Structure 1
Amino acid sequence: MQFAPVRRLEDGALAGAELQVRGPSGTALGTASALRHAAQLMGQRADLDEYKHRHARTPLARTVADHLPLLVTIDSESPLAAEPATEGLERTIVTVDATDVLRNPHRALARVVSARASGRLVALDGVGVDVQAATLLSLIEPDIVVTAAELHSGSARTDIGATAHALSAYVERSHAVIVAEGIDDDAARLAAQTVGATYGIGALYPPVDDPAGLLTEDVVPMPHAPVWTTPIPAETTPYAIASEHATPRRGTKRVLVQMSKSLEKQAVAAGSAMLALGTFQHATHFTERTAQRWRHLADTIGFAGVYGVGLTQMLDGNTQHAPLDPADDMVNEWTVVVLGPHHAALLSARDRHDNGPDLERTFDFVQTYDRATVTQAAHAIMHRFTP
């Protein structure tokens, strides 16, 4: 067990300490990051979290938590994530991995809701190394954003400029905290500050086995209050959610198709941090021409998903296909959602089933650019994704 100081990048002031566990010194697992990576590869993250949780109950860890914020990170898949938060300076932080969310949105988003209901803070991990992490800022709405060491070392696979703008927009809107990993020298510290981080951990602030020195320092603790998150709506389909705040209009499919295409173009123009979702009622409406547009869209943005009765769950290029239950009321709706750091839009149309010529079919539809409503609609759609 060791304690990694979390320091304010501006002046090195102590803001807290992260409880870490590592393997034997001098081995391949001799650092906390190496042990964590190995546990992830071996599917043993829950075991590592349980081991860490036991260490957090030791007298030494309790002493630290009596003096300064003690951060204990656990994976969102861990059973510990849903346990009620405790009083005091110990803060159990539930970390969310972008890959896990996009592989199984229904289960991952439900775990985030459960963790928040238990009073846990939520952190989005891997921003800067996972190309889809910035896409999920608007969907997960984390309290803490953890930027990867690669983002500050120049080896990131993501667009650093776009990531910095995405982080700035999200923090301004939510007042979330950005903590940078890999602060190993002053160059990394300055780079992390440039992309928006306020706090950091790394070799510049080396972990200690004996926390006595930390207990004598003045502490400038990180904000403890959770950030504002989008309320859970009473309605469960995009059209119903948006209709609570917007007045429906009536239109023909001919015009609505052009309006949908316009939203798709907006998502492409907004870039890599965007998420786009489309519900097409039935697979027959998701034509080859439409599929080509969405393949192009998916090659440009962070995530693209399409839903409909008869669609087979698969990846078509980078477009995630998912089926809808024929009994689901959302089958009556045709929706396009685009959501990202700087832009949010929704077009949702409810079929009137008037059975006229295809392009003259009529729908009651709503449009909105209200971020909270668009986020609620995105959640409503992604909760339908069950592998």
Structure 2
Amino acid sequence: MRHHRTRGPMTDQLTAAAAGVGLEPSFQQVVSLPDGAVVGYEALARWPGMDGLGPLEVFAHAKRTCQLDALDRHCIHSAARGALDGAWRPGMLLLINCEPTTSNIDMEVTSALATAASAFDVVFEFTERGLLTNPRALLGKVASLRAHGFKIAMDDLGAHSDSLALLDIIQPEFLKLDLNLVQRQPDRVQARTIAGVIAHHERTGAVIVAEGIETEEHLEQALAYGATLGQGYRFGRPGALTHAPDAFIGPSHASIVPLADDASTFALVRDRLRPRTVRFDTLHELSRHIERLATTAESPPMVLATVQDQSKLSDATMRTYTKLARRAPLVAMFGANVPDDLGNGLRGVHLAASDPLVHEWTILVLGPDIAAGLIAREVSPPGTPQADRRFDMVITFDRSLVTLGARCLLSRLAA
């Protein structure tokens, strides 16, 4: 006799909520600091008619039941529609949360969003959930949003190391500090997060937004970290959009050059830096130096390496990268026949024989306080004895070039 598991009322409620039933946006004020003038709103997904259901539960259920794409679309449409139905002024700042790796937004389907895009300065906030789960999808989502003219905010910086490691890759126009950074004195980890955010702000001009401001002390802390926009109960509770905000002139759009599908790290830098020809032993020792820089960096960086093929993964190499993976948000190795899961937190990417990366030897280290890259292409014919192998090589500490190379590799890394 086959027994069927019955679903409880809570599961039924979660399934309905994930399908958009009962979804209503609630709008939280975004204010300028320190004067507190309202300059925009963040749309929050809420289910007021379903007691006890919060967005974290609903999104977790949607992910388990393969409804995440649909729920994300419902929330975006609801936010845009709710803003248009409320009090607003042309060009106002509207922050909309979205999942980082759901399917790209179809403006034809989401007609309310198309209308909102022409009326407001729409910014999509990437939640911290699963930022590095599927880098290829993440980069595709970023490219799609920017192609539609939207800006991007990184949410909850400081809550998870993934978001900080991706600042250079995504180039957000808004940097949102997690409330734990604002509501307490920083410890060592929080201090390096704050330093990383301030450094990125200095490099790019991204606007720092402080969340969770409830007291005068929180406001003081937010201002100390360079925040010029803020959110929190000090300025009002989320609710209906009943007050048209003041005018706000936001940051300019980040400029990110799209990469060709078959781009290689060496091809991206060879016209910007003059390659040098080196022997294998020289290349090997310089590679170890770049790896040591990753090991000693104060803020854990991501580490990406091409190894030509799986046979190059020596025991010594695996020990080095296993050690790096213990603290880094992402360590990935690319090469022919490299398995997806190398164990111990190491991710692998198999490269086809036609991929130009199989002829390259690359190590990229990118984090809040380090950018270093060794990028080389072998010029020796197959079968050359190891001591006689030659490579055209560049070493760079130019953050923009290291970021370009990292985007090239991450575009090949799927879930």
Range into which the TM-score falls when normalised by the shorter chain: 0.7 to 0.9
Structure 1 residue 3: deviation in Å? 2.3
Matches within 5 A, 1:57-136: 57-58=81-82, 61-66=85-90, 68-79=92-103, 81=105, 83=107, 86=115, 87-136=117-166
For residues 98 and 108 of structure 1, the distance between their equivalents in structure 2, rounded to whole angstroms, comes to 12
2:223 maps to 193
Bigger Cα displacement from structure 2, 11-20 vs 372-381:
11-20
- Between the aligned partners of 1:158 and 1:127, the Cα distance in structure 2 is 15
Report the Cα distance in structure 2 between the residues aligned to 1:267 and 1:284, rounded to whole angstroms. 23
Task: Quote the offset at 1:26 in angstroms.
Answer: 9.7
Q: Given the superposition, is the C-alpha separation of residues 63 and 23 from structure 1 closer, same or farther in structure 2, using an over 3 Å criterion?
A: same
Contact (CA 8 Å) 2:98, 2:127: kept in 1 or not?
no
Residue 344 of structure 1 pairs with residue 371 of structure 2:
yes
Structure 1 contact 85–119 (Cα < 8 Å) conserved: no
2:388 maps to 1:360: yes
Give 2:406's aligned residue: 378
- Superposed, 1:158-307 pairs within 5 Å as 159-212=189-242, 214-215=243-244, 219=246, 221=248, 223-227=250-254, 229-233=255-259, 236-307=263-334
**Structure 1 residues 123 and 209 mapped into 2: Cα distance closer, same or farther (>3 Å)?**
closer
Structure 2 equivalent of residue 18 of structure 1: 42
Structure 1 residue runs of 5 or longer lacking an equivalent are none
Identity of aligned residues (%): 27
From the superposition, tell whether residues 26 and 207 of structure 1 become closer, same or farther in structure 2 (CA, over 3 Å).
farther
Q: 1:60 Cα shift?
A: 6.1
What is the root-mean-square deviation of aligned Cα atoms in Å? 2.8
Q: Are the structure 2 counterparts of residues 256 and 92 from structure 1 closer, same or farther at C-alpha, using a change threshold of 3 Å?
A: same
Instruction: Using the TM superposition, name which of 129-138 and 150-159 deviates more.
Output: 150-159
String of CA shifts for 1:34-87, please: whole Å, max 9, x gaps. 32x123211255425424523532586353244843333333445573538555
Deviation for aligned residue 1:11:
2.4
Structure 1 residues 250-271: Cα deviation after superposition (integer angstroms, max 9, x where no partner): 1111010110111111122223
2: CA distance, partners of 1:294 / 1:16: 45
* Distance in 1 of aligned mates of 2:160 and 2:83: 37
Pairwise CA distance, 1:154 = 4.1
3-state SS of 1:163 partner: helix
- Alignment match of 2:33 (pick from 9, 19, 36): 9
Task: Choose 293-302 or 187-196, whichever is displaced more.
Answer: 187-196
Q: Distance in 2 between matches of 1:256 and 1:154?
A: 46
Structure 1 length-normalised TM: 0.87
Q: What do residues 340-380 of structure 1 show as CA deviations (whole Å, max 9, x unaligned)?
A: 23332221111123333223311111222222222111111
Structure 1 residue 40 and structure 2 residue 59: aligned? yes
Q: 2:95 is paired with a residue of what secondary structure?
A: strand
What is the aligned partner in structure 1 of residue 74 from structure 2? 50
Q: CA 1:211–1:59 in structure 2 vs 1: closer, same or farther (change >3 Å)?
A: closer
Q: Which runs of 5 or more structure 2 residues have no equivalent in the other structure?
A: 1-24, 108-112
CA distance in 2, matches of 1:25, 1:12: 31
Instruction: Say which SS state the counterpart of residue 105 (structure 2) adopts.
Output: helix
**Contact kept in structure 1, 2:277 and 2:393, CA below 8 Å:** yes
* Contact 2:206/2:251 (<8 A) preserved: no
Equivalent-residue separation in structure 1 for 2:145 and 2:211 (angstroms) = 23
Match of residue 17 from structure 2? none
| 1:13–1:220 CA contact under 8 A, matched in 2 | no
State which of 282, 289, 314 in structure 1 corresponds to 2:341. Answer: 314
Greater Cα shift, 163-172 or 299-308: 299-308
Instruction: Please give the TM-score of this superposition, normalised by the length of structure 2.
Output: 0.82
